[in-house]
Amino acid sequence: MKPFIREATLADVHAVMADLSGVSASEVLRGKTWWQALPLTRELCKQGPVDALIWGGEPIAVLGHIPANRDPYTRFTWTRYRQAFFEHGLRTMLIARKYMKTLQLLYPGVKFDSYTNSRHPDIVRWHKLFGYEFMGEYNGQALLFRLKPLEAPAPVVEKRDTGLPTPA
């Protein structure tokens, strides 16, 4: 079965939270059990759209975005991953990147930011693969990333028959 993204169900969120990857667990749980950390994730689910990356019939990631406080032109992205997300390598990263580009098309003119407290050595590389650029530290502890703006597509020019010869 080909991997795909769909609107997440509560069962998807629970499945991912119950089996978080080491990187996700260190950032999300912070000494709590997944069950104790679930209310925060459920609250995020109430604040904005949440989708699930399905691989082999199982959710391997949930991806969401919520409005930023006091800024209607910024949204915060958040994610939760199972280890399987990383085990599938570059393919899942590219799916996530395409998902982020789709968000930008759905929300034109909106900035998408991601904050992380993780100090995993690959965290900057992963964000770059998703299409983010590193912006610096936020509040002295979190790392701030922002999705790079989409490159503007070349304008579509209609060809009209002018009766003149076409230059070679």
pLDDT for the residue 87: 92
For the record, the structure tokens of 44 come out as 């995020």
pLDDT for the residue 168: 47
Q: Which of 60, 65, 77 is nearest to 17 (CA)?
A: 60
pLDDT for the residue 57: 95
Rounded Cα gap, residues 13 and 85, in angstroms: 14
pLDDT for the residue 153: 58
Instruction: Please tell me whether residue 35 adopts helix, strand or coil conformation.
Output: helix
Q: Structure pTM? A: 0.82
pLDDT for the residue 166: 45
pLDDT for the residue 155: 52
164 Cβ neighbours under 8 A, 6+ residues apart: none
132 Cβ neighbours under 8 A, 6+ residues apart: 100, 114, 145, 146, 147, 148
User: Which residues of the chain, if any, have pLDDT below 70?
Assistant: 152-168
